[in-house]
Amino acid sequence: MPILRLDRFISNNTEYSRSQIKDLIKHNRVLVDNVVVKKSDIKVDTERSNILVDGKTISEFGLRYYMMYKPSGVVCSTDDSKSTTVIDLLPENLKDKNLFPAGRLDKDSEGFVLLTNDGDFSHKILSAKNHVAKYYIVRLARPFQADYIEKFSKGIELSNGEVCLPSRVIQWEGSQYYAVIELYEGKYHQIKRMFASVGNHVEYLFRFQIGNLALNQNLTKGSVLEVLHKELPEILKNTDTKFFEKDFQTKISSFITNIEL
């Protein structure tokens, strides 16, 4: 691990600017190996040194989580030579924070994408065995059929013979062309392929919630909002009992009103 200037290391791993770091040091709020630091340009062993800023270790600052409202036409990748990526949409001050999308959302789909530099947390979200639900609103080309509910609950067989995990789907009460689906996995183009298997076509797809954390409706397309550490348990929370509740339907209605009818 490289030896770095203290202010550079703190700046790379927290939201503090260089000038803010100097002020923190001036007021004795930065410690290296339990010793109060007096200069911001000292060199530190970033692997072995114990660095505290306002009583927090750098690791506490270093793990970041952001919700993004991904627009259509943007790919969930850290690098793509042909298309705009979710990383390209980040503000400049976040582009060097080693963020990556925790899971994917199709290029022509929109909605909630979680960006993080926490590989362990990303794995928890994506692993089907952890039972973290993802919720989507879809607009269909043909009316929703009542038998979709049972077919999805048994596990849809895709055109290539692959069988999906059981999932829940409901018709949105406001339109026969809108449905809401709950998934616990993320196969390639899965929702589109599932509806194709029952003779329908997805015209529009919008992910509005992961676990029990919904996309902030004040976000505009392409913008991000930090997810606080205290909000992370909401993402991992089991939401089985809430799918058909009235307040969930109200939330769905609110999102559909804000997208395109």
Give pLDDT, residue 127.
82
- Greater confidence (101 vs 94) lies with 101
Tell me, yes or no, if 106 is annotated catalytic: yes
What CA–CA distances, in Å, run from 218 to 68, 154, 214? 11, 36, 11
Give pLDDT, residue 244.
67
Separation of alpha carbons 190 and 162, rounded Å: 11
Q: Average pLDDT in the 119-132 region?
A: 85
Q: Average pLDDT in the 152-156 region?
A: 96
Summary mean pLDDT of the chain? 89
- The phi, psi pair for 159, rounded to 5°, reads -60, -25
Give pLDDT, residue 261.
43
* Contact assessment for residue 90 and residue 140, using Cβ atoms and an 8 Å cutoff: no
pTM of the predicted protein model? 0.76
What CA–CA distances, in Å, run from 221 to 124, 247, 258? 26, 25, 12
pLDDT in tens, 159-198: 999 999 999 999 988 889 999 999 988 889 999 999 999 9
At 260, the pLDDT band (50, 70, 90 cuts) reads low
Give pLDDT, residue 58.
74
What CA–CA distances, in Å, run from 251 to 105, 107, 184, 202, 223? 21, 24, 20, 21, 21
Measured torsion, CA atoms of residues 60, 62, 65, 68, in degrees rounded to the nearest 10: 150
* Candidate from 18-27, 136-145, 235-244 with smallest mean pLDDT: 235-244
Q: Average pLDDT in the 24-50 region?
A: 91
Check 54, 88, 106, 247 and give the catalytic one.
Answer: 106
Helix or strand (DSSP H, E) at 99? none
Does the structure show a pLDDT above 70 at 20? yes
What percent of the chain is modeled with pLDDT above 90? Answer: 57
Give pLDDT, residue 199.
97
